[in-house]
A and B are shown apart, each in its own frame.
Chain A
Amino acid sequence: MIPLVAWTICAPVPVRAQDSCVTCHAALEGSLAEPAKLYDGDVHHSAGLGCADCHGGNPKDESMNAMSPAQGFRGAPKKTQIPEFCARCHSNAAFMRRFNPKLRTDQLSEYLTSVHGKRLKQGDTKVAACVDCHSVHNILTVSDPRAAVYPLNVANTCARCHADAGHMKGYNIPANQFALYSESVHAKALAGGDTSAPTCTTCHGNHGATPPGVTSVPNVCGTCHAFNQQLFEKSPHQAAFTKMGLPGCVQCHSNHEIVKPADDWVGVGEGTTCVRCHAKGDPGYAAAQQMAGDIASLKTDYERAEEVLGTAERSGMEVSSAKMELTDANGQLIKARVNVHSFNPAEVRKLTDEGKKISRQAYLSGVGALKERDYRRKGLGVALVFIILAISGLCLKIRQIDSRTGG
């Protein structure tokens, strides 16, 4: 009877086997009880692993002896020991295969190449180790939206340290990356639900987190922005920037605060990106001028066609075919903007010329529609003239008949 009662009291959670770690720690206070409370939500718990599987000791032993080194107890690891502690399983491919064959097992080796890993090895305990990002005792999978490492949450997790100026003092890097990133199109795309949008780890790596080197920035951006990278590499800027030791992309687009580029970035006026380096007389200046001019004139032609088609449509003319063809001109404009990255005005001009041709055709269709509208109104005029003629004839006839009949 008593063992039964003891069993029901001491094992409130139906565990697969009696786990003395949970039973005792759950009855304690404060931080000692935390792990027992959190662990039910942990992915390791769902996999059937208990406290002893990481911390060692004997979960069947209800005495304090359960935690003796003789029983294999490892205790809670120190900060500098954490990576190896987790890697005991996570770098063991044969072991991991039992649970999730898809999971990578190179996190530790990656980590050791990262800035965090290197500094931790030197004894710096302020840097991130496994549990700082993944939390501990209530670890969730990456695909769980509540996880700190879920794509939408990654930036916030990194910002816990990297946006804390006090924490980052002494490291010689700014603490404003998160603030800048939050203004970027990438952050907004991510917030809009597009989990393929880049967050900190996309460009810096997750376990091997390191800023990309100067020569590899275009490669990193080019993993998504392939066209822009290809064009850039063939462009005169690639060699020039490499010689000057400048990263590509970042020069014009910034690294964290990447905002939506506007057409007026290209050009030679005040406030354009090009004049930051180019001055009147150098070939780059001329190229910028031509490209900006071509894109601007395509936009003008496109808007002109759009306007005349809009007027025609509002006058009641049906212009859906012409409107559809005009969308191709918009396609050319979009391609021209991408092609700016070739910094080759001739290439850009090919696209803008095609776009202008299409715009002009659509414009002519619109003008034709307006002509048709005017033809209708002229036809109406003619018909009205005949009607007025008929009405005048009728009026006179009526007068004539009335006078005859004396009505």
Chain B
Amino acid sequence: MKNLGREEPQEVQPDRRWIDLLLATGVLASIASFLYPALRYIIPPAVSESTSRSVVATRVGELKNNTSKVFKFGSEPAILIRTADGQYKAFSAVCTHLSCTVQYRGDTRQIWCPCHNGIYDLNGRNVSGPPPRPLTAYEAHVQGEDIVVTRSA
């Protein structure tokens, strides 16, 4: 074993310290750059997860009879309708003609697409105008204080 180091301690000392400093800085900084993301990751985000299978559309009592609400379901708009007799119905709000977003009309009690006057009944069936297919129906249930819309099985 060569003993270069021990014979001239004064000359090697500052060298060694400088290397150690560089090493320590690099290692600590890099470890910090790994730990920082991991720690931020562990903290749950503010937006609670809504799966694309089930979404809380509204609270009980917020939606009046014969009105509707359009909300985001997965990556597409959906419509929740409270009929004149208090029932909740939910459908995909993507018109099957050219994908405009449909609306509920309280006067005719039908679902209507303002782009080309397509009309669907309250079962989602396309009854008039250009839409070639019915709207996809979803299930709406009351769960405690929430109205939850889920995709049908």
A residues adjacent to B (C-beta < 8 A)? 194, 224, 226-227, 320-321, 323-324, 327-328, 330-331, 334-335, 338, 382-383, 386-394, 396-397, 400, 403-406
Measured between beta carbons, the chain B residues less than 8 angstroms from A227 are 116-117
In contact, B33 and A390 (Cβ under 8 angstroms):
no
Tell me the bound Cα distance from A261 to B4 in angstroms: 89
For A224, what are the chain B residues with a Cβ–Cβ distance below 8 Å? 129
Chain A residue at minimum C-beta to C-beta distance from B74 = A320
5 closest cross-chain pairs (CB), A and B: A393-B23, A390-B26, A389-B26, A331-B100, A386-B29
Are B2 and A403 touching (Cβ within 8 A)? yes
Considering the chains assembled together, what is the distance between the CA atoms of A31 and B30 in angstroms? 99
Chain B residues 80 to 95 lying within 8 A of chain A, measured CB to CB, are 94
B114 close to A389 (CB less than 8 A): no
On whether the beta carbons of B29 and A389 are closer than 8 Å, the reply is: yes
Q: Which of A321, A330, A382, A404 has the most CB of B within 10 A?
A: A404
B134 interface residue per 8 A CB criterion: no
Hey, which chain A residues are within 8 Å of B30, CB to CB?
Answer: 383, 386-387, 389-390
Any A CB within 8 A of the CB of B115: yes
Asked whether A338 lies within 8 Å of B23 as measured between CB atoms, the reply is no
Contact B101 A327 (CB under 8 A): yes
The answer to whether B20 touches A404 (Cβ under 8 A) is no
Q: A331-B101, A396-B19, A405-B1 are in contact. Are A324 and B117 (CB under 8 A)?
A: no
Contact A335 B114 (CB under 8 A): yes
User: Are B116 and A338 in contact (CB-based, < 8 A)?
Assistant: yes
Can you name the residue of chain A whose Cβ is closest to the Cβ of B52? A320
Q: Is B77 close to A, CB under 8 A?
A: yes
In contact, B115 and A331 (Cβ under 8 angstroms): yes
Whose C-beta in chain B lies nearest to the C-beta of A380? B33
Q: Which residues of B contact A (CB under 8 A)?
A: 1-2, 4-5, 15-16, 19-20, 22-27, 29-30, 32-34, 72, 75-77, 94, 98-101, 114-117, 129, 132
Q: A330-B99, A387-B30, A393-B19 are in contact. List 12 more A-B contacts (CB 8 A).
A: A227-B116, A324-B75, A330-B100, A334-B98, A386-B29, A386-B30, A388-B26, A389-B26, A392-B22, A393-B25, A393-B26, A406-B2
* Residue in chain B with minimal CB distance to A399: B19
Q: List 20 A-B contacts (CB under 8 A).
A: A224-B129, A227-B116, A334-B115, A335-B100, A335-B115, A386-B30, A386-B32, A386-B33, A387-B26, A388-B26, A389-B26, A390-B29, A390-B30, A392-B22, A393-B24, A396-B19, A396-B22, A403-B2, A406-B1, A406-B2
Determine if A327 and B99 form an interchain contact, defined as CB atoms under 8 angstroms apart. yes
How far apart are the CA atoms of A389 and B19 in the complex, in Å? 11
Residue contact B75 to A194, C-beta cutoff 8 Å: no
With contacts A328-B101, A334-B98, A386-B29 known, is A393 near B16, CB below 8 A?
no
* Chain B contacts for A389, CB-based, 8 A: 22, 25-26, 29-30
A residues less than 8 Å from B23 (CB atoms): 390, 393-394, 396-397
Can you name the residue of chain B whose Cβ is closest to the Cβ of A335?
Answer: B115
Task: Name which residue of chain B comes closest to A394, CB basis.
Answer: B23
User: Which residue of chain A lies nearest to B21 when distances are taken between CB atoms in the complex?
Assistant: A393
